[in-house]
Structure 1
Amino acid sequence: MTPPAPGTIRFAANLKWLFTEVPFEARFDAAAEAGFRAVEIAAPYVLPAAKVRRLLDDAGLRAVLINSPGGSASSPERNGSACIPQLRDTFRAGFDRAWEYADILGSPVIHVMAGIRPDGTDRDTAFAQYVENIAWAADRCKGSGLRLVLETINQRDAPGFLLTSQEQAADVIRTIGADHIELLFDIYHCQVGQGDVTTRLTALLPLIGHIQVADPPTRTEPGTGELAWDFLFGQLRRLGYDGWIGCEYRPATTTLDGLHWRRRHEDRPRTTAQRKAP
């Protein structure tokens, strides 16, 4: 596949958040029918990896990101387990499972979720465990072609989440120093947690491997909230960002009714005739 030109805007559907009008297995076809060519799969582990791969292939889609395993909504590891000292072995077994799924699905990226610092564990201890686990994961998949991304989640949506700023995540990446660890820059989480999105996006671009979008304050589709998306997508073009942009938002009404914003901003692939035209 020919790499996109720098500054090409292309979107991937997040199948946890979009097309929830249908069961998980039907979301692949729904995404393809809506014009998506790629998907993020936050939790592919609900099905055998071979079954998920068949769903991708049948729909003509590619997986561009999966998450490392998390627990149930009420569990300590609901947002990951990398920072929880008591779950060191759980994290490492989960990462190996994620790597197996990524290999079968053809996903080039795993989002390694940091987790929420447990009550009774001081921040320094949790942070040290996190850095140790990320360094272990990076070393484990070194040379495999797999890339790992780290994400900050705002404290309003996930109180106690270990990473509290984009810069903190970037510092972890620089500290470990592996070129296959990158930043997952979520525009929604940045705006809610810190603001000054464009300045941070510009400053951190050399470390950014993946971007996700939603519009604050309600995490709905771009164009329904407070951000200036024409400016933001224009800035990404000017900066030459050529990675995928994940649609990780809660549709204000239905998924299909809310996709008009994508047609406004996405650079659609040109046809053969268009490429030959003078």
Structure 2
Amino acid sequence: MPVFAANLTMMFTELPFPDRFSAAADQGFQWVEFLFPYDFAPEALARALERNGLRQALFNLPPGDWAAGERGLACLPGREKEFDDAVEKAVPYAKALNCPRLHVMAGNRPPAVPDAVPEQTYLASIRRAAQRLADEGLELCLEPINHYSMPGYFLRTQEQAAACIETLGLPNVRLQFDFFHCQMEQGNVSGRLRRFFPLVGHCQLAGVPERHEPDQGELHYPCLFALLDELGYQGVVGCEYIPAGDTAKGLSWARAHGLTPRR
């Protein structure tokens, strides 16, 4: 049976961010993840985890200027120093939160440059970041994101991510397999999960196509949960979805798969 992590960026948004930790714990979550922690001191977030008996599964490296539409820096030529600085900014957060892995956003493919340029830039950036994070005992995850959610995003398919991982050959570079993005971009989710499972470091879910609770939409998640068990997945599954209504009321799907409220 999978263990679930509440994504506090998307879930429990009825509450201020600092209060979402206790809300997740009250609903029975033992793990959390979120997109970006950088608006808060790492010590404050570490206290929120400890106070609520939670563990941190994942968060993202700084993505550049998010408000201006940037979605990562790794593939952008000329931004290498900024990318390396982003890695350094994330490390103390990972250490304070005892978080084992970080997700690096690839960035939007830059216009008017040959395809080989962002590809080479991306591989070089991932290599530097992974080697730096290896010094801290951390994994680096690569997540393909579908073009409907992020038009122009550089890393879109499981095959593309797997090829990068295999080219780099670094043991701490792993695949972040998001069922929602895979179905939206490619389909054949169970087949691709089987094929690329040896590379998987983290999984995430959401209902397709609206990105609400996973019991809404076209993917049959009980089948995928059974497949994770069959494959021997030992990680957590991040609930990276936008609740259709009240977060807690929408967790009936998780109750059916072992999530038990604390109160």
Q: Distance in 2 between matches of 1:229 and 1:266?
A: 14
Q: For residues 52-109 of structure 1, give each alpha carbon's deviation from its aligned partner in whole angstroms, at most 9, with x where no partner exists.
A: 11111111111110100124444252x2111111221111100111112101110001
Kept in 2, the 8 Å contact 1:220–1:250? The answer is yes
What is aligned with 1:133? Answer: 125
Tell me which residue corresponds to 1:58: 51
**1:38 aligned residue (20, 28, 31):** 31
Whether the aligned pair in 2 keeps the contact of 1:9 and 1:267 (CA below 8 Å) is no
Partners of 2:13 and 2:259 in 1: CA distance: 25
* Equivalent-residue separation in structure 2 for 1:43 and 1:28 (angstroms): 15
SS in 1 for 2:134: coil
User: Does the Cα contact within 8 Å between 1:213 and 1:246 map onto a contact in 2?
Assistant: yes
Which segments of 5 or more consecutive residues in structure 1 lack a partner in the other structure?
Answer: 1-7, 269-278
Dislocated runs of 4+, deviation >3 Å:
71-74
Cα displacement (A) at 1:154: 0.1
Deviations 1:179-223 (A, max 9, x none): 111000000000000000000000100000100000111011111
d(CA) in 2 for partners of 1:15, 1:236: 23
When structure 1 is superposed on structure 2, of 258-267 and 29-38 the one drifting more is 258-267
Aligned residues: 260
Native 8 Å contact 2:133 2:140 kept in 1: no
- Contact kept in structure 1, 2:27 and 2:259, CA below 8 Å: no
1:75 counterpart = 2:68: yes
Looking at structure 1, the residues matched to 228 and 259 of structure 2 have their Cα atoms a distance apart, in angstroms, of 12
The equivalent residue for 1:273 is: none
CA shift digits 1:243-275 (9 cap, x unpaired): 11000001111111110101112377xxxxxxx
Give the TM-score of the pair, scaled to structure 1: 0.90
Give the counterpart letter for 2:236 in structure 1.
W
Stretch of structure 1 that moved more, 207-216 or 258-267: 258-267
Distance 1:178 1:254, change over 3 A: same
Between the aligned partners of 2:72 and 2:14, the Cα distance in structure 1 is 26
Question: Conserved in 2, the CA contact under 8 Å of 1:65 and 1:107?
Answer: yes
CA distance in 1, matches of 2:115, 2:25: 43
Matched, 1:193 2:185: yes
Indicate the residue corresponding to 1:109 in structure 2: 101
- Aligned to 2:153, which of 157, 161, 170? 161
Q: What residue number does 1:122 align with?
A: 114
The reply to whether residue 247 of structure 1 matches residue 227 of structure 2 is no
In structure 1, what is the Cα distance between the partners aligned to 2:31 and 2:66? 26
1:141 Cα deviation (Å)? Answer: 2.3
Question: Alignment RMSD, CA only?
Answer: 1.3
Q: 1:267 to 1:18 in 2, by over 3 A?
A: closer
What runs of 5+ residues in structure 2 fail to find an aligned partner?
none
Residues 80-99 of structure 1 aligned to structure 2 (within 5 Å): 80-99=72-91
AA of the residue aligned to 1:154: N
What's the offset of the Cα at 1:118? 2.3
Question: Which of 13, 21, 41 is matched with 2:14 structurally?
Answer: 21
Q: Could you say which residue in structure 2 is the equivalent of 1:271?
A: none
What is the one-letter code of the residue matched to 1:232? L
**2:226 — aligned with what?**
234
TM-score by length of 2: 0.95
Q: Does structure 2 conserve the Cα–Cα contact (< 8 Å) formed by 1:76 and 1:118?
A: no
Distance in 2 separating the partners of 1:9 and 1:262: 10
**Alignment equivalent of 2:252, drawn from 249, 256, 260:** 260
Answer yes or no: is 1:173 the counterpart of 2:185.
no
Q: 1:146, CA displacement in angstroms?
A: 0.6
> In 2, Cα distance between the equivalents of 1:28 and 1:17?
12
CA contact (8 A) 1:11 1:266 kept: no
Which range is displaced more, 246-255 or 141-150?
141-150
2-side partners of 1:259 and 1:267: how far apart? 9
